[in-house]
Structure 1
């Protein structure tokens, strides 16, 4: 196992993590962005299974949030405001009248302090960032640490730790767009996905949760026995259609298994298993990924990747009964998501 580092732009550094089985994870200290994940297919062919730009400088604008750490709060906050402990906080309205993915000063666009490490058959990079009180409108001085670890079992382990000196809102995730066909050869229509979830969150036309939790039963949102993403992309279900033909919805995980998501792509034989202690995730099928971006493997297009944004729900700031994003002063936020790659 080994780690390489190169400078790519100013204070930006690119780290390449490589294990003994050919798996590689490439990441920038800018935004904690994973630019490539290279894994073998059933024939041993090594290919990239996440979307990324051809030119590193395009990550500076990165309207699609490719591969980035998202925070302080991943997802949409209704009316770009919330109230905590009797105080109301106004955030940047960067998507219509709502707040998305931490705004312009979010974790996706800061240069993190990076510390590579090697230990116990694993290698990785520990990223640290201090977010000051009032940044983006959020209360509290937040100390955030995100650690990427690659082991010999072809697992990418992402650990999130944070503390705040004031009660605040926080839930972090990673915004990688997966495409197991390899090198973006095909869209994700035929990706077969299993999700341990019997409930999902209804959205309004602005993609803001209505406050209603719906059963997945008898709908394109029932992934308990597995189904292809095409079922929702091509569905006439109003919820799929308002998301611009696909999924951009929060699924509440059933808590009977740590293995929450299994993704399979038949042609390559690749299998992605996602384990997490997060209470749910947003599954986003790149419905708004437009043409015109120069990606590492070719031109961008709709439905070219799928995101599995494991996190709590920002809807909890305005509705009862959702997994909370409130972090109490002095308490530790500690979450883990494991992306495990294999073949069948």
Structure 2
């Protein structure tokens, strides 16, 4: 394992300097992360012939991230995904959050200044078989409208088994809601190689949560059978429009983890298996990327469906849906979730 840390700039109004941290294992897998927004800026992975490509969408400079992006590689929180009308109630207290998604008028990914807009403290843990970057910050009571001082620890690690680890842990001093995810966009052919339409995908999910026209779950939990969301058997993604929460099966497990997704690019031979302790995964194939102009590394313009997200998570709008797995966190409890992205070739 090899680790380097370099200066990467400064965010106005925040005292912690921004760093770019590079993790590389002996198999040629290299991951770059920054303590601004806990962003994974780059994942360089070899194909079946040993040729390396960057398989996540992103930028080469802090300035580009500061100018705006659709959560490329960032942490989303305090509550990832959507909350209806930006409103939730705990023990008789109503919390009104920002409704920062203009098309739907819903609260999205923690608001216009969510966890992705802060510079985090961090430390490095190096072992022969793995290296972890441990990010931490306190989200104060009232930040973005949420209640409770929330101590958050987010660890991103790389190991010698070609596994990229995302670990979340949080505690609070009064009841709050928490849903934390990494929001990387993957293209196993390379970030500048065109659409992911030809990728093969299998999702370990037999059910999904339908949404209304404002992208909020209706409360139903329906079977994927007979729908375009049926990826229970590996198939091409195609050119559809996918942005859905799928409920993970309980049967396919490996230790503490359940299998969430298997992604494969036949052209390069790169494959990625996603395992998680979370109950669901948001599958988004980036069909809205063309709504704005995003120019990534080397000036490449990201068009519709050129990267896909597999966001392991709790369900959207869980604070307002009592039959969904709870996202409530009480004092004395620990929110803890883990996800692995395992890279390979075939």
Match of 1:319 in 2: 321
Shift of 1:5: 0.8
CA distance in 2, matches of 1:282, 1:323: 15
CA distance in 1, matches of 2:85, 2:71: 21
Q: How does 1:229-240 map to 2 (within 5 A)?
A: 229-230=237-238, 233-234=239-240
Pick from 237, 243, 259: which aligns with 1:248?
Answer: 243
Q: Between 64-73 and 118-127, report the one with greater CA deviation.
A: 118-127
Q: Deviation string for 1:75-113 (max 9, x for gaps)?
A: 011101100111100001111321100012311110010
Q: Check conservation: 2:86, 2:106, Cα contact below 8 A.
A: yes
Shift of 1:22: 0.7
Q: Deviation string for 1:117-144 (max 9, x for gaps)?
A: 2014111211001100111110110000
Match of 2:263 in 1: 263
CA distance in 2, matches of 1:42, 1:187: 20
Match of 2:73 in 1: 67
Q: Between 53-62 and 128-137, report the one with greater CA deviation.
A: 53-62
TM-score (norm. length: structure 2): 0.93
May I ask how many residue pairs the two structures share in their alignment?
Answer: 331
Can you give the 5+ residue segments of structure 1 that lack an aligned partner in the other structure?
235-245
Q: Check conservation: 2:192, 2:302, Cα contact below 8 A.
A: no
Q: Check conservation: 1:314, 1:324, Cα contact below 8 A.
A: no
Q: Deviation string for 1:23-56 (max 9, x for gaps)?
A: 0110110000000011110101111100002443
CA distance in 2, matches of 1:183, 1:210: 34
Say whether residues 1:296 and 2:292 are aligned partners. Answer: no
CA distance in 2, matches of 1:163, 1:79: 25
After superposing on structure 2, the runs of 4+ consecutive aligned residues of structure 1 that deviate more than 6 Å are none
Say whether residues 1:21 and 2:23 are aligned partners. Answer: no
CA distance in 2, matches of 1:292, 1:221: 28
Pick from 53, 58, 62: which aligns with 2:59?
Answer: 53
SS of structure 2 residue aligned to 1:209: coil
CA distance in 2, matches of 1:62, 1:125: 24
Q: Between 249-258 and 46-55, report the one with greater CA deviation.
A: 46-55
Shift of 1:274: 0.4
CA distance in 2, matches of 1:44, 1:183: 17
Say whether residues 1:118 and 2:126 are aligned partners. Answer: yes
Shift of 1:210: 1.6
Match of 1:93 in 2: 99
Shift of 1:292: 2.2
Match of 2:186 in 1: 178
Q: Check conservation: 1:314, 1:325, Cα contact below 8 A.
A: no
